[in-house]
Amino acid sequence: MNKFSVILGNVGQCSDRYMTGGYGRPFELEEMFERVASIGVKAVEYVGNWHISDKTLNQVLRLTKQYGLRSVAIIPDHFGSDVWGKGAFTSPDAKVKQLAVRETLHMAELARAIDCPLISIWNGQDGYDYPLQANYADADKWLTEGITKCCEDAPDMKFSLEYKPKEPRNHSFLSNVWRSLTLISESGVQNLGVTIDVGHSFEAYEDVAEAAVAAMKRGKLFHLHMNDNWKFWDDDMIAGSIHTIEYIELFWWLKHFGYTGYISTDQYPYREDGKCAVEQSIKWMQAFERAAANIDDKRMLAILAKNDAVESTAYMREILFGC
């Protein structure tokens, strides 16, 4: 059975550049913890400085104990402050690059305090928007050096790279699973892996199961974020609401490789009630888990060995509808 968790802000208020005041009312930290616990999951994930900081540390410790929740990951905020406007690890300003490392290591300190094992890095501002805007060679060097230093200075923690092809920059330097695995290999550190966000993988026109297998074969799939989209943008919709077959394929390969890490929801339910939307994602993932468990491994591997799309499609119909 997989272990599910929720990024705390998923059950709160969401805003966009058109509805800057947010869709619905804001929620206090304690309310969001209560909403996560009411869904029935046993773990929670945070965005640094949004939910977990020096100021809120004691409150987070109290609330996780009160609701019996495990803290599974912190996402440092390398994207939501104007200091990161031209990049974090790849900023042309040396002081900003140093700040990105310090901020990441500070999140590691907070993670230790709440017994949280993972820092999941989404460096969304590290990228470029125009031709002849960025020095690609320098950016590649700075990104690898910065991430590597974080891992070396906190060897007791796990760090993972959450890639994404675009947004907020038109092009992200960490754009797909292969770029992430290359950086991991070049870093030479053992405590660095990948967070696969399913929506980011779809947006990168990956088969998310193939991406997961690439990471798992190398022992580098550290974490997963679940949502769905139409592949043009990171819509952060209810998991499985669009790409049902791809999700079944992903969960079967997770079972096949024995993935034991956490699987978090990562959604932006703008117009839906956040708690209800996240609860639907959890129920969909539990359904995918059951569907994957019903797949006969020998039969599936035999189909794959023949590279037979007709037979695999028929088998999926049988699994889903019994016909």
pLDDT tens, residue by residue, 22-32: 998 999 999 99
Please state the separation of Cα 57 from the chain's center in Å. Answer: 22
Residue 26 in tokens: 């804001």
Element (H, E) at 263: strand 262-265
Q: Are 161 and 180 in contact (CB under 8 A)?
A: yes
Confidence at residue 304, expressed as pLDDT on a 0 to 100 scale: 98
103 pLDDT exceeds 80?
A: yes
Alpha helix segments (H runs only) across 174-243: 177-187, 198-203, 208-217
- Could you tell me the pLDDT band of residue 223, with boundaries at 50, 70 and 90? very high
Q: Are 135 and 141 in contact (CB under 8 A)?
A: no
pTM surpassing 0.85? yes
The proportion of the chain whose per-residue pLDDT surpasses 90, expressed as a percent, equals 98
Peptide bond between residue 92 and the one before it cis (omega within 30 degrees of 0): no
Q: Are 223 and 160 in contact (CB under 8 A)?
A: yes
1 pLDDT exceeds 80?
A: no
Backbone dihedral region for residue 293 (phi beyond 0: left; psi -120 to 50: alpha; all else: beta): alpha
Pairing of strands 127-128, 171-172: antiparallel
Count of CB atoms situated within 10 Å of the CB of 42: 17
Element (H, E) at 238: none
Confidence at residue 115, expressed as pLDDT on a 0 to 100 scale: 98
Among 213, 239, 242, 245, residue whose Cα is nearest residue 314? 245
What's the rounded Cα separation, in Å, for the pair 70 and 263? 13
- The length of the chain in residues reads 323
Residue 282 in tokens: 């959890």
Confidence at residue 150, expressed as pLDDT on a 0 to 100 scale: 98
- Could you tell me the pLDDT band of residue 303, with boundaries at 50, 70 and 90? very high
- Each residue of 286-297: pLDDT tens digit? 999 999 999 999
- Each residue of 235-286: pLDDT tens digit? 999 999 999 999 999 999 999 999 999 999 999 999 999 999 999 999 999 9
Give me the DSSP letters along 38-73: HHT--EEEEEBTTTBSTTTHHHHHHHHHHHT-EEEE
- Each residue of 165-213: pLDDT tens digit? 999 999 999 999 999 999 999 999 999 999 999 999 999 999 999 999 9
Tell me the longest C-alpha to C-alpha distance in the chain. Answer: 62
Among 224, 122, 220, residue whose Cα is nearest residue 173? 122
Element (H, E) at 204: none
Count of CB atoms situated within 10 Å of the CB of 52: 27
What's the rounded Cα separation, in Å, for the pair 164 and 161? 10
Pairing of strands 118-121, 221-226: unpaired
Confidence at residue 154, expressed as pLDDT on a 0 to 100 scale: 98
> Within 13 Å and on the Cβ side, how many CA atoms surround 59?
12
Confidence at residue 17, expressed as pLDDT on a 0 to 100 scale: 87
115 class by beta-carbon count within 10 Å (0-12 exposed, 13-18 middle, 19+ buried): exposed
- Could you tell me the pLDDT band of residue 2, with boundaries at 50, 70 and 90? confident
Determine the average pLDDT of the residues in 101-123: 98
81 pLDDT exceeds 80?
A: yes
